[in-house]
């Protein structure tokens, strides 16, 4: 290891994460090299100074904890409420989301026949939140070759699918399989800058969910959901409200896939 | 984690909840103060920081049945907090421009000249990115890999950012020391 390499891995040394051979090499180098030894010492002293200057300043979180406890109790008490509503996962947004969906459905005059679509939209939003905000899953495929193989495997009859399902100015970030209401969907996450858009894609099963580009939204949690159906694929687009134009994306994907 | 967990936040046995409540409180609440300190760094205003911690703990609680026992709860909570903060910033970009100057008004005159104060002051002048990695690594004691997961950036980026952050902090302190010598 040369001095530059030592410099690069000094942070790992300081957090105690260097082990085995790299650690031996590191120790060997700083035993011989005065400059690097001084740098490591200086970093360590700096960290100590920082800890003693700021480390004791632990803010008092008891008020927050009390508020959280109260809300948790509220959650527990409200469990006689139909569970789909009371356990929606993300706080007050649950009711608002359900209310917004009901409103959207009423607005679109879709009073019957879209129960399934609503449930799927809810499940998709739930999964998007769980995956991208809470980061609950670690089984994502992220390498381009792996993602291409995944698409090929999941949608064998759709060669060249990726460009057709990629929203404008976005690129595929990661993919995994997920289950939404007993149906297996490919969950594709696209990135445009820092903004993530989920596309849930499924081969049209026999009982095809015929998604309309109806725009459903979660008022408080700021998620919106739009569906699309093409001849033999259906999909759901989820993104942050006002940031990701899900309706436009869903319409465009539906059109591209129908060509 | 299997695909079966996906989208099933809702389908969960109620009877399990009391046990899980106790478990959640014992694994999550001890991190509340650390979360609040991180939230103060991100959000600036105490009221917003407290809301952020509250939102984080509730989000974690409501999806706690998905949490795998034995995995790093503290890093998971910090990551949720960071993500919720990013969501808020996207919703309201004006919030990103928050002054993070340390408020010295509560300190008496003698304390202001201590070395600790100089370090705090120098730290407060670092860029938000530099403060963030230093706080997570040095004050919160997270490993590089954990910081990479919280911030969703590669571990190599965390390491080089830490190097630059320490360098920036050092040169600020040195500049101050030199200026101090000149004044005396
Ligand atoms: Zn050296």
Q: What is the pLDDT of residue B39?
A: 94
Q: What spacing in Å lies between the alpha carbon of A5 and ligand 1's midpoint? A: 9
**DSSP assignments along B37-57, one per residue:** HHHHHHH-SHHHHHHHHHHHH
Question: Which chain A residues touch B8 with a CB distance below 8 Å?
Answer: 179
B58/A68 touch (CB, cutoff 8 Å), yes or no? yes
Residues B68-91: pLDDT tens digits?
Answer: 776 788 889 999 999 999 888 877
Fold for B112-182, please state it: Arc Repressor Mutant, subunit A (1.10.10)
Taking the Cβ of residue A90 and every Cβ of chain B, the question of whether any pair is shorter than 8 Å is answered with yes
What architecture is domain B14-91?
A: Orthogonal Bundle (1.10)
Confidence label for B95 from pLDDT (cuts 50, 70 and 90): low
Q: How far is A118 from chain B (nearest CA, A)?
A: 14
| Phi, psi of B34, rounded to the nearest 5 degrees | -60, -40
Q: What spacing in Å lies between the alpha carbon of A7 and ligand 1's midpoint? A: 8
Q: How far apart are the first and last CA of chain A?
A: 57
Taking the Cβ of residue A79 and every Cβ of chain B, the question of whether any pair is shorter than 8 Å is answered with yes
Question: Which chain A residues touch B144 with a CB distance below 8 Å?
Answer: 11-12, 15, 17
Suggest the residue from B2, B5, B6 to mutate for an interface test with chain A (most A CBs closer than 10 A).
B6
Q: What spacing in Å lies between the alpha carbon of A35 and ligand 1's midpoint? A: 6
Homologous superfamily of A118-258: MucB/RseB, C-terminal domain (3.30.200.100)
Dist. CA B100–CA B1, nearest whole Å: 39
CA atoms in the 13 A half-sphere facing the CB of A120: 26
Residues B119-169: pLDDT tens digits?
Answer: 889 999 999 999 999 999 998 889 999 999 899 899 999 999 999 999 999
Q: How far apart are the first and last CA of chain B?
A: 63
Per-10-residue mean pLDDT for chain A, 259 residues long?
94 91 94 94 91 80 90 65 29 45 42 53 77 77 93 87 88 90 87 86 63 50 74 82 78 79
pTM of the model: 0.56
Q: What spacing in Å lies between the alpha carbon of A37 and ligand 1's midpoint? A: 7
Q: Identify which of A9, A79, A242 has the shortest CB distance to residue B159.
A: A9
Q: How far is B116 from chain A (nearest CA, A)?
A: 4
Q: Which chain A residues in 193-252 lie under 8 Å from chain B, judged by CB atoms?
A: 194-195, 222, 240, 242-243
Taking the Cβ of residue A103 and every Cβ of chain B, the question of whether any pair is shorter than 8 Å is answered with no
Q: What is the pLDDT of residue A151?
A: 92
Q: What is the pLDDT of residue B151?
A: 92
In the sheet that holds A233-240, the strands lie side by side as A171-180, A183-192, A195-203, A233-240, A223-229, A215-218
Dist. CA B29–CA B41, nearest whole Å: 19
Taking the Cβ of residue A81 and every Cβ of chain B, the question of whether any pair is shorter than 8 Å is answered with no
Question: Which chain B residues touch A200 with a CB distance below 8 Å?
Answer: none
Q: What spacing in Å lies between the alpha carbon of A33 and ligand 1's midpoint? A: 5
Taking the Cβ of residue A11 and every Cβ of chain B, the question of whether any pair is shorter than 8 Å is answered with yes
Q: What is the pLDDT of residue B148?
A: 93
| CB environment A35-67: b (16+ within 10 A), e (fewer) | ebeebbeebeebbebbeebbeeeebebeebbeb
Q: Identify which of A58, A89, A184 has the shortest CB distance to residue B62.
A: A89
Q: What percent of chain B has pLDDT over 70?
A: 73
Q: Can you give the residue ranges of every domain in chain B?
A: 14-91, 112-182
Higher model confidence: residue B54 or residue A217?
Answer: B54
Q: What is the pLDDT of residue A216?
A: 58
H helical segments located in chain A = 3-14, 20-32, 34-54, 62-77, 83-86, 93-107, 115-128, 144-154, 161-165, 246-258
> With 60 as the cut, is the pLDDT of residue B112 above it?
no
Q: Can you give the residue ranges of every domain in chain A?
A: 3-54, 118-258
SS3 B162: helix
Q: What is the pLDDT of residue A71?
A: 86
Question: Which chain A residues touch B86 with a CB distance below 8 Å?
Answer: 194
């Amino acid at each position: 290891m040369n001095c530059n390499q030592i410099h690069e891995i000094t942070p790992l040394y300081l957090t105690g994460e260097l082990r085995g051979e790299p650690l031996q090499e590191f120790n060997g180098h700083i035993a011989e090299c005065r400059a690097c030894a001084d740098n490591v010492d200086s970093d360590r002293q700096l960290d100590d100074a920082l800890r003693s200057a700021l480390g004791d300043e632990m803010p008092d979180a008891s008020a927050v904890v009390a508020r959280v406890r109260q809300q948790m109790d509220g959650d527990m008490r409200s469990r006689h409420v139909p569970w789909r509503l009371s356990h929606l996962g993300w706080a007050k947004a649950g009711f608002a989301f359900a209310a917004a969906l009901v409103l959207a459905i009423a607005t679109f005059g879709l009073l019957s026949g879209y129960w399934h679509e609503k449930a799927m939209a809810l499940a998709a939003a739930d999964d998007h939140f769980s995956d991208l905000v809470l980061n609950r899953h670690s089984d994502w495929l992220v390498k381009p070759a792996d993602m291409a193989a995944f698409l090929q495997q999941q949608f064998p009859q759709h060669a060249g699918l990726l460009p057709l399902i990629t929203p404008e100015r976005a690129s595929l970030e990661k993919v995994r399989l997920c289950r939404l209401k007993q149906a297996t969907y490919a969950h594709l996450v696209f990135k445009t800058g820092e903004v993530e858009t989920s596309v849930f894609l499924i081969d049209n099963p026999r009982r095809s969910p015929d998604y309309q580009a109806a725009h459903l939204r979660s008022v408080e949690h700021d998620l919106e959901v739009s569906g699309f159906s093409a001849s033999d694929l259906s999909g759901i687009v989820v993104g942050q409200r006002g940031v990701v134009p899900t309706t436009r994306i869903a319409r465009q994907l539906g059109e591209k896939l129908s060509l | 984690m299997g695909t079966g967990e996906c989208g099933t936040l809702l389908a969960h046995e109620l009877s399990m909840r009391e046990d899980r409540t106790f478990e959640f409180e014992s694994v999550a609440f001890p991190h509340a103060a650390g979360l609040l300190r991180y939230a103060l760094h991100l959000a600036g205003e105490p009221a917003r920081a407290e809301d952020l911690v509250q939102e984080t703990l509730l989000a974690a609680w409501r999806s706690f049945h998905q949490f795998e026992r034995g995995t790093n709860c503290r890093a998971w909570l910090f990551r949720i907090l960071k993500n919720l903060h990013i969501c808020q910033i996207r919703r309201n970009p004006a919030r990103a421009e928050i002054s993070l100057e340390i408020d010295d008004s509560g300190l008496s005159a003698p304390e202001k000249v201590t070395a600790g104060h100089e370090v705090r002051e120098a730290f407060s002048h670092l860029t938000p990115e530099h403060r963030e990695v230093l706080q997570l690594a040095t004050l919160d004691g997270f490993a590089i890999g954990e910081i990479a997961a919280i911030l969703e950036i590669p571990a190599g980026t965390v390491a080089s950012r830490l190097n630059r952050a320490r360098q920036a902090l050092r040169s600020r302190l040195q500049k101050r020391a030199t200026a101090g010598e000149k004044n005396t």
